[in-house]
Chains A and B, each alone.
Chain A
């Protein structure tokens, strides 16, 4: 039986790897998801059939209820709320890991655990608790229930350090405790780690949420891996390591895209420090005047345009304007105007957020291009339509050393003949930086809700 289970673990592990491999590009992505589902079903079926599992009735019942709840959530969630959905799912992994850790402590194999076993439980619960509370804060922030502003406690780095050290220090009395006597220590540590999770994410500004979400994704992987060590289960170790490294790479990619250091993300509170050199040089105040335009004028310009690039941002997601944007794209393309999309890596609140929304609206993915693919094309573009994006098209990131987003790679939209920024108001972006683009001579502002504006524009063009 042991051999059968081990064989099943290896096969499931291979299926999971194929699943991630499949997601490498659009053609194979669905197959990839299928591999994942198969692997998961195989793993669960194997353990149910192997005879290792007890209480099959309540167990299968719980599995069905859980799958039903998860399935319903997945069906109901709007594509624009995807970041919240992913964040809350992360918290479930964290919670499950904490619960498994406690269960494992109360019910050690062969009646007694030993120090190594206890240390593994300790790690599992620690990372699980941080993931759990951190994801909940991220969820609330993304949902808007909590302010996107970073919470900056005085001496927060010292605070983080102390809490982590205390959490780690408590392992000594816990690991040495006989039987289940270590429970109070474990609970104290759980609370501390929970608070640590809250504090880590609360200290991060709303604009950096893509990094936070992928970082929590990574944490949820490591916690599964820790559970694997604890249970001596290779499948958990493998899967956890896969997920953990995947999240870590995503965080790394996001950080590069925003010119942040990964270290400062992990320790929280980034995105709030003033850029070096800004102490002496005040941020440049953009010169000039913003010029507003209206739907009719924009429609005329689009009618004459041969090359159009649309840059979507979080504003498009909030206004759920993706369908109207798709209609606009279809219209322009049917008139022979080469219309494409430029996606900045951190547009939206989740990596790839914009791609998902555009896909939902059935925008063909071969006209949706990455920053590096399209940046050199702006110079020969007639009209760039910027929908609810701000920081990712800020020329100050290249020219203004005192800007907090200085050095972040941005879409060079200002090189085109005309940029039109569709925005609800003239407020600054999530990073709180004024945007010199708005004051450029070839820029026009269209103050409107993204969806309403797009719908009117489509009507005007028809």
Chain B
């Protein structure tokens, strides 16, 4: 199965859908990989690096598209300057994996339908824990959050970190992040790292701990309402809640220097959270970075990919933040693709005639991101009930369980050891007393002998128990082989019976016993010696 990775020709796109590392992994999965010459240049991956990883470099884009069984891209397929539409250059029945945004790409979907394309959308990966490793949206959001802070710093006229200098005091920047998803948390981390005072607002109380774990403050409104909308997004809130939220924002607007908004509601325009009057409340020189610019923006005044200055406040609406960190973004995205292809089953699971994947529609992840299957629109996937998110109480329960199992489980070995020792002591005493009582009046020499032997036996057992308890567990194997060698003392029995005619059955049996017992003695002691020699401090 041949994977083709084209140059991303969108003017604002610097990423590429592969890294030399991912190429190696794809080849390991059984694919062959061809890459358009210069595809990685903007992400600092040279053709030579790709070739060294095992990819074929193709100079002619038409040839690349025509030969491809599977096209891996970042942006949705589009018209290429000086060429045709990317979909039109593919063979019928090929597979495309990229960001597709099926809800707003009707024209593209129709075009792919016509060519019997199978299309998987990286933006439709279900947000379940199993799919985290192929969640490209999270990978990109992480970059966007970091980059948003850097961008804000560029437009901000002061330090992020408060300073006391000989020339006077500089207050630290106050950064407010709205929406503590992946991007929001990354922004908090970056802002905190630069020394700013970071605070965050989110309608989902569940993210409070995550915000706090980044060292930031979690702002709350007085009304209690859970904004958890499933799939890692928030739902729309009640009017009363929104009123309280706006009041909080107006208060914050007077204080903060930087606002970073990241609120998205899937399939809908971004909610307007930072209104014009809030911008006007802010100090001149403040910066707003709106990460929702692509879907209309969270701020009233946002214009996508432009810097708007309103009463001294800069409002930025960048839509290409991940692309600005092209090398890392490409690396992470390429790794997400590798994980997806691994989940699908690598190059092995393919239909030999169509040269496409056999997609396992039972798999929630595969089903979720498949938009077109051989030209048939199957998106959106039927909604499965959300598995209950792992809640903190579960962890508490398991801790409680482990604690209680400690409580009622076996007592610690030491205690049980001494208990058994005591038991052994009393047993030995009991045997001795019993032997005395049984045989004290006996005059039979055999019985006398037996009583004496029992005494020796009981004492030896007692001594054995006493001695063995103190053996270090690390020495249990040598202990076993040494006791094994010692039990070869049965050789004495053999020697004692080796008498009379050497060819008599009794003597022969005794001789055999001597042989086996000595094997045991020799083997046991030597092997112990070998083992013990190895123990060193």
Contacts and interface: CB of A to CB of B under 8 A. Distances in A.
A70 B522 contact: yes
B531 A359 contact: yes
Nearest to B517: A96
Contact of A237 (B453, B499, B526): B453
A73 B489 contact: no
Q: How large is the interface on A (under 10, 10 to 19, 20 to 34, 35 or more residues)?
A: 35 or more
B358 interface: no
Nearest to A363: B536
B474 A40 contact: no
Interface stretch (B98-106, B310-318, B507-515): B507-515
A63 B464 CA distance: 28
A25 B478 CA distance: 11
Contact of A93 (B413, B424, B487, B529): B487
A90 interface: yes
Contacts of B526: 70-71, 74-75
A250 B515 contact: no
B456 A29 contact: no
Interface string B494-533: 1111111010111101111111111111111111111111
B534 to A, nearest CB: 4
A112 B369 CA distance: 90
Nearest to A24: B470
B153 interface: no
Nearest to B491: A44
Contacts of B18: none
A106 B509 contact: yes
B194 to A, nearest CB: 23
B484 A220 contact: yes
B490 A20 contact: no
B489 A103 contact: no
Given A19-B482, A239-B487, A399-B402, A86 B477 contact: yes
B193 interface: no
Contacts of B505: 102-103, 106
Nearest to B130: A289
Given A55-B499, A249-B465, A352-B478, A92 B516 contact: yes
Nearest to A57: B502
A103 B529 CA distance: 33
A250 B480 contact: yes
B81 interface: no
A425 interface: no
A33 interface: yes
Nearest to B21: A296
Contacts, number: 403
A372 B468 contact: no
Given A53-B498, A92-B516, A441-B129, A71 B523 contact: yes
A114 interface: yes
| From B402, B481, B486, B487, residue with most partner A Cβ within 10 Å | B487
| From A47, A92, A97, residue with most partner B Cβ within 10 Å | A92
Nearest to A412: B402
| From B477, B479, B520, B532, residue with most partner A Cβ within 10 Å | B477
Given A19-B482, A33-B478, A227-B490, A237 B456 contact: yes
Interface of B: 129-130, 133, 387, 398, 401-402, 405, 409-410, 412-413, 416, 420, 424, 446, 449-450, 453, 456-457, 460-461, 463-465, 467-500, 502, 504-507, 509-537
Interface of A: 12-13, 16-17, 19-21, 23-26, 29-30, 32-33, 36-37, 39-40, 43-44, 47-48, 52-55, 58-59, 62-63, 65-71, 73-75, 77, 79, 82, 85-86, 89-90, 92-93, 95-97, 99-100, 102-104, 106-107, 114, 116, 213-214, 217, 220-221, 223-225, 227-247, 249-250, 252-253, 256, 259, 287-289, 291, 343, 345, 350-353, 355-356, 359-360, 362, 364-366, 368, 370, 372, 395, 398-399, 407, 409, 412, 441
28 contacts: A24-B472, A26-B537, A33-B532, A36-B485, A40-B485, A62-B515, A67-B519, A74-B530, A92-B516, A93-B487, A102-B506, A114-B446, A229-B453, A231-B492, A237-B456, A238-B456, A247-B483, A249-B420, A250-B479, A289-B133, A345-B473, A350-B476, A350-B477, A352-B476, A355-B473, A355-B535, A359-B534, A362-B536
